[in-house]
Amino acid sequence: MKIGKLPEPVLIRSVLKEVQHRRPEVLVGPAVGQDCAVLEPAKGDVLVFSSDPITGTVKDIGSHSVHITANDLAASGAEPLGIMVTILLTPETEETQLKEMMRGLEAACEQLNIEVRGGHTEITDVVKQPLISITGVGRIPKEEVLTTSAAMPGQDVVITKWIGLEGTSIAAKEKEETLLERFAPSFVETAKRFDQYLSVVPEARVAKSWGVSAMHDITEGGVFGALWEMGSGSGTGLDIDLKKIPIRQETVEVCEVLGLNPYILMSSGSMLITTDDGFGLVRKLEQAGIHAAVVGKVTDSNDRILRNGEDTRYLDKPQSDELYKIYLG
């Protein structure tokens, strides 16, 4: 496709026709020549915004981009409503690839009951690969807003599902041939399908109804990065048992073969939560079919401690995500 704005016929048949209207709050949505969306929140609600680009992969970036942004909104306690989508394509991108992105994006929107409210599409030689950047908006009563920086000493630290889900799925797709030299096809396929767990919207709803002080979706930098950010933002210490952090065996083995540290690996699909009764929350989550575990405590010191049996060390500041290593070799 030629550099410049997406041709109108392509925009209509491969973008706009893939988008469905499903939210009554959206008064004006995407259309040819329409540069703004109009949203009417309920009285007493505030709007929550979050923005994320997807740069770590080009595979399944449509659905991936929606879940990453919706997860940020859910971590604040908000109900995701809709997204604004910017898509930058290389001149080499085929229209079929664009349509595949939009279908993945729309499938995720349908799953979460949100909708595309507008955006921008362009073909440019500034990017080296297709890039999607999404700004999401959610709503929540003003008095119910949660932040990452509200963890309180004495509370339990809970982690949902398993760490490393996102990174494992991406690594298995990007390094499938390498992994097939060591593992059975069924094993690699299972690892690739970890992207089915990317949404934390369900556990956020359960946690909010249970009563929590802070939530933080575990993304780039992995669980170590998320723990540091929550402790630093809250001005608290942490005492974490590494052996209690939930992790799938597939993640352990994929990381071992590719030389990755799973604790510093992209972990969308897993939520970090602080609450007064972590074990009660875990039971509530399990009742909803969501695995979770209490992994430690918030403390009143500035020390962020990691325990592994008799070994003890301090948590380091966030580091570059391990996933990027797979593109360097």
Within 8 A by CB and 6+ apart from 93, the residues are 1, 123, 130
Looking at residue 84, its amino acid is M
Q: How far apart are CA 105 and CA 84, in angstroms?
A: 12
HSE-CB of 177 using CA atoms within 13 angstroms? 0
Comparing CA positions, the residue from 171, 165, 85 lying closest to residue 130 is: 85
Q: How far apart are CA 247 and CA 160, in angstroms?
A: 10
pLDDT at 135: 95
Q: How far apart are CA 242 and CA 30, in angstroms?
A: 46
pLDDT at 16: 85
Both tokens assigned to 26: 């959206």
Helices 249-258 + 185-192 axis angle, to 10: 100
Q: How far apart are CA 189 and CA 301, in angstroms?
A: 44
pLDDT at 252: 98
pLDDT at 21: 85
pLDDT at 60: 86
Three-state SS for 7? coil
Three-state SS for 152? coil
Q: What are the φ/ψ torsions at residue 2 (nearest 5 degrees)?
A: -80, 150
The CATH topology of domain 156-327 is Phosphoribosyl-aminoimidazole Synthetase; Chain A, domain 2 (3.90.650)
Cα angle 5-86-22, degrees, rounded to a multiple of 5: 110
Domain chopping of the chain, boundaries: 4-144, 156-327
HSE-CB of 181 using CA atoms within 13 angstroms? 5
State whether the Cα torsion 171-172-178-183 is positive or negative.
Answer: positive
* Cβ 195 vs Cβ 172: under 8 Å: no
Chain position carrying tokens 């491969």: 14
Q: How far apart are CA 110 and CA 70, in angstroms?
A: 12
DSSP E strand boundaries for the chain: 4-5, 26-28, 38-39, 45-54, 79-89, 115-123, 131-141, 156-160, 214-217, 237-241, 271-275, 292-299, 304-308, 311-314
Architecture of the domain whose range is 4-144? 2-Layer Sandwich (3.30)
Instruction: Classify residue 159 by its DSSP letter.
Output: E
pLDDT by residue, tens only, the chain of 329 residues: 778 778 888 888 888 888 888 888 887 878 877 777 787 888 888 999 999 888 777 788 899 999 999 999 999 999 999 999 999 999 999 999 999 999 999 999 999 999 998 999 999 999 999 999 999 999 999 899 998 889 999 999 999 999 999 999 999 999 999 999 999 999 999 999 999 999 999 999 999 999 999 999 999 999 999 999 999 999 999 999 999 999 999 999 999 999 999 999 999 999 999 999 999 999 999 999 999 999 999 999 989 999 999 999 999 988 899 999 987 76
CA distances (Å), origin 315, targets 73, 242, 244, 300, 311: 27, 11, 16, 16, 13
